[in-house]
Chain A
Amino acid sequence: MKILVPVKRVIDYNVKVRVKSDGSGVDLANVKMSMNPFDEISVEEALRLKEAGKASEVVVVSVGPQQATETLRTGLAMGADRGILVKTDETTEPLAVAKILKGIVEAEEPGLVILGKQAIDDDCNQTGQMLAALLGWSQGTFASKVDIGEGTVDVTREVDGGLQTVKLKLPAIVTTDLRLNEPRYASLPNIMKAKKKPIDEKSPDDFGVDVTPRLTVVSTAEPATRQAGVKVGSVSELVDKLKNEAGVL
């Protein structure tokens, strides 16, 4: 079974995001970019399935600018077998990406697509679900555990009430949550091998997809800064403050 793992190039999670002074977006100039952390979890899961003999090939795909090649190489250095870059300089919206991924799925025929539940830049949390709908495949979102069976996959999902396990028929779509696994570091031998692994370059046109954004960003603003808290010395002081200052008791 082949596993397809879409990976997105996003602002690094350690970077302190700054809003552009004109409010048109966030400042990406000279900012460190990395693979979306949820996608790292997806790559890790795919690699573990391959190592467990449940998958034969792991293909990483990224829709984005030329620099997204670096993100693909990171996936290859972790151990993925090959990459596909669908090159576009447009801001990518979930529906356009899902349509492109549908085209790739039709060409590659993977048994499983593992995506991050969301990307930490726009936090949309839509691409996996849209892809499942476009393909008419089953989906298991927010996975904290993935078990491959005979033609099925059990996905344990993190839902508001706790954990829910769903059994899906393969081929299927899985989106990953934080607790699914801890992604590995790229090993030195794999870093050295990554360069030799192939990356195919495509364009949205190859899949007949128009990536022109349908949304307009009206303004971007920083969240209000939180007021500093206070430390209380004892439980009775806490109760007193809750009663008399916060008025919640």
Chain B
Amino acid sequence: MHFGLSEEQEMIVTTVRSFVENEIYPHEQLVEKTGEVPVELGQEIKQKCIDLGFYACNFPEEVGGAGLSHLDFALVERELGRGSMALTHFFGRPQNILMACKGDQRERYLLPAVRGEKMDALAMTEPDAGSDVRGMKCTAVRDGGDWVISGSKHFISGADHADFFIVFVATGVDETPKGPKKRITCFLVDRGTPGFEVRDGYNSVSHRGYKNCILYFDGCRLSDDQVLGEVDGGFEVMNEWLYATRITVAAMSVGRARRCFDHAVNYAAERKQFGQAIAKFQGISFQIADMITEIDAADWLTQVGAWRLDQGLPANREIASAKVYASEMLARVTDATLQIHGGMGLMDDFPIERFWRDARVERIWDGTSEIQRHIISREIFRPLGA
């Protein structure tokens, strides 16, 4: 058993952390106040990451990535989690699912995404289909040799900056003993394709400046060249490539919790009431003790999940556990940190209220806490036939 990081991993952590501290933190207030990332700033962050060889580091070397292991990459995500998501978006981690690109799709989508020339966004969720992905209504039908898509997607992150979209669409229904089951196909859709429109989405209290948009399809015509994976094989590509992405929510939650924790500790050590530092009150110090215990637990759970992926071991339950525990840990840690700051914690002079707001979405996206618990319990009971 060896619980330490390798020298390379230590250096990756140090480098990403100092990048976030020096290149991201200074701009966070601006993004919070305006809800926007200035175009030049996003471009500048992106270029620096490209120069440092970190852009698309989650991709294998043969397509121009850095070939990081799942564990290495989870450590990168953990450190990025400290910073504003609106800004770290430009650190560039295109969706791994692009590895499913075939033929000239590689030149048109995969390679430009890895080089930072094109940005992607991933669209599954619809107004009437969230956790129940298969319930999607956005549909593609055959017309001549083409596909014609109609319907809409919402909550699509990063759509404002995306050049193309990875969109899951229903392409038919199978009758099964358990009832009708939709067939799903994954499409690559360029911004500007006729019949396809990106509309402003909602304003979220979490992650200001990291926008979500609505995608609107009205008779959008696509050729077979735009199918990612196989026709009706949408769930297969989803399961193969998106399986591991839940670990990033866990990793980011751990990083943000550690940043928040440092604020809690420093404030508790400095703030004086009743003639002494509030850290001297057990009511405060025990909260700190609980926080660090939970942060470490979530960190290990996350690292083990990533490590299992690297070992090729089953990791579905472990990743779900890491996701649900880390995101809920973050909620408790940000809430306790706010409590330790008293009234000041609610004021936007401190970043605490932002950490508290930002934490909320982690329990919702990439599969809600309930869905993660469903995955965990299903893995436990399925072998028992229960």
Which of B8, B19, B52, B266 is in CB contact (< 8 Å) with A192? B8
- The reply to whether B11 and A187 form a contact with Cβ atoms under 8 Å apart is no
B143 interfacial contact with A, CB 8 Å: no
B277 to chain A, nearest CB (A): 13
- The reply to whether B18 and A185 form a contact with Cβ atoms under 8 Å apart is yes
A189 interfacial contact with B, CB 8 Å: yes
B128 interfacial contact with A, CB 8 Å: no
Assembly CA distance A188 to B53 (angstroms): 5
- The reply to whether B51 and A74 form a contact with Cβ atoms under 8 Å apart is no
Per-residue contact bits, chain A 188-218, to B (CB 8 Å; 1 contact, 0 not): 1111101100000000000000000000000
Q: Which residue of chain A has the shortest Cβ distance to B19 in the bound complex?
A: A185
B27 to chain A, nearest CB (A): 17
A170 interfacial contact with B, CB 8 Å: no
- The reply to whether A70 and B7 form a contact with Cβ atoms under 8 Å apart is yes
Q: Which of B4-41 contact A (CB under 8 A)?
A: 7-8, 10-12, 14-15, 18-19, 21
- The reply to whether B57 and A188 form a contact with Cβ atoms under 8 Å apart is yes
B54 interfacial contact with A, CB 8 Å: yes
- The reply to whether A185 and B8 form a contact with Cβ atoms under 8 Å apart is no
Counting chain B CB atoms within 10 Å of each CB, which of A34, A70, A185, A195 scores highest? A185
- The reply to whether B18 and A195 form a contact with Cβ atoms under 8 Å apart is no
B255 to chain A, nearest CB (A): 16
Assembly CA distance A16 to B262 (angstroms): 11
Assembly CA distance A220 to B345 (angstroms): 35
B66 interfacial contact with A, CB 8 Å: yes
A120 interfacial contact with B, CB 8 Å: no
- The reply to whether B53 and A77 form a contact with Cβ atoms under 8 Å apart is no
Interfacial chain A residues near B57, Cβ < 8 Å: 188
Counting chain A CB atoms within 10 Å of each CB, which of B12, B18, B52, B54 scores highest? B52
A186 interfacial contact with B, CB 8 Å: yes
- The reply to whether A188 and B12 form a contact with Cβ atoms under 8 Å apart is yes
Q: Which residue of chain A has the shortest Cβ distance to B68 in the bound complex?
A: A188
A73 interfacial contact with B, CB 8 Å: yes
- The reply to whether A191 and B11 form a contact with Cβ atoms under 8 Å apart is yes
- The reply to whether B11 and A186 form a contact with Cβ atoms under 8 Å apart is yes
- The reply to whether B15 and A186 form a contact with Cβ atoms under 8 Å apart is yes
- The reply to whether B10 and A188 form a contact with Cβ atoms under 8 Å apart is no
Assembly CA distance A194 to B11 (angstroms): 10
- The reply to whether B11 and A77 form a contact with Cβ atoms under 8 Å apart is yes
Interfacial chain B residues near A191, Cβ < 8 Å: 8, 11-12, 15
A196 to chain B, nearest CB (A): 11
Q: Which residue of chain B has the shortest Cβ distance to A76 in the bound complex?
A: B11
- The reply to whether B12 and A194 form a contact with Cβ atoms under 8 Å apart is no
Q: Which of A143-193 contact B (CB under 8 A)?
A: 185-192
Interfacial chain B residues near A77, Cβ < 8 Å: 11, 15
Per-residue contact bits, chain B 49-86, to A (CB 8 Å; 1 contact, 0 not): 00111100100000000100000000000000000000
Interfacial chain A residues near B52, Cβ < 8 Å: 185, 187-188
- The reply to whether A189 and B11 form a contact with Cβ atoms under 8 Å apart is no
Interfacial chain B residues near A195, Cβ < 8 Å: 7-8
B102 to chain A, nearest CB (A): 28
Counting chain A CB atoms within 10 Å of each CB, which of B14, B21, B53, B57 scores highest? B14
Assembly CA distance A192 to B266 (angstroms): 35
- The reply to whether B14 and A188 form a contact with Cβ atoms under 8 Å apart is no
Assembly CA distance A185 to B51 (angstroms): 10
Assembly CA distance A77 to B8 (angstroms): 9
Interfacial chain B residues near A186, Cβ < 8 Å: 11, 14-15
Assembly CA distance A100 to B14 (angstroms): 29
Assembly CA distance A185 to B12 (angstroms): 10
Assembly CA distance A171 to B51 (angstroms): 33
Interfacial chain B residues near A70, Cβ < 8 Å: 7, 10
- The reply to whether B11 and A74 form a contact with Cβ atoms under 8 Å apart is yes
- The reply to whether A194 and B51 form a contact with Cβ atoms under 8 Å apart is no
Assembly CA distance A34 to B54 (angstroms): 21
- The reply to whether A188 and B54 form a contact with Cβ atoms under 8 Å apart is yes
- The reply to whether B14 and A189 form a contact with Cβ atoms under 8 Å apart is no
Q: Which residue of chain A has the shortest Cβ distance to B57 in the bound complex?
A: A188
Known interface pairs A187-B51, A188-B54, A189-B66. Does A194 touch B15 (Cβ–Cβ under 8 Å)? no
Assembly CA distance A90 to B312 (angstroms): 46
Which of B7, B53, B54 is in CB contact (< 8 Å) with A194? B7
Assembly CA distance A34 to B18 (angstroms): 12
Q: Which residue of chain B has the shortest Cβ distance to A190 in the bound complex?
A: B53
Assembly CA distance A163 to B18 (angstroms): 31
- The reply to whether B51 and A73 form a contact with Cβ atoms under 8 Å apart is no
Assembly CA distance A73 to B12 (angstroms): 12
Interfacial chain B residues near A34, Cβ < 8 Å: 14
A138 to chain B, nearest CB (A): 34
Interfacial chain B residues near A16, Cβ < 8 Å: 266
Interfacial chain A residues near B10, Cβ < 8 Å: 70
B138 to chain A, nearest CB (A): 38
Q: Closest 9 interchain pairs by CB?
A: A188-B53, A191-B11, A187-B52, A189-B53, A187-B53, A186-B15, A188-B66, A185-B15, A77-B11
Known: A70-B10, A191-B11, A192-B66; 5 extra A-B contacts, CB below 8 A, are: A74-B14, A188-B15, A190-B53, A191-B8, A195-B7
Pairs across A and B, CB under 8 Å, 25 listed: A14-B21, A16-B266, A34-B14, A74-B11, A74-B14, A77-B11, A77-B15, A185-B15, A185-B18, A185-B52, A186-B11, A187-B51, A187-B52, A187-B53, A187-B54, A188-B12, A188-B15, A188-B54, A188-B57, A188-B66, A190-B53, A191-B11, A191-B12, A195-B7, A195-B8
Show the binding face of B for A, using Cβ within 8 Å: 7-8, 10-12, 14-15, 18-19, 21, 51-54, 57, 66, 266
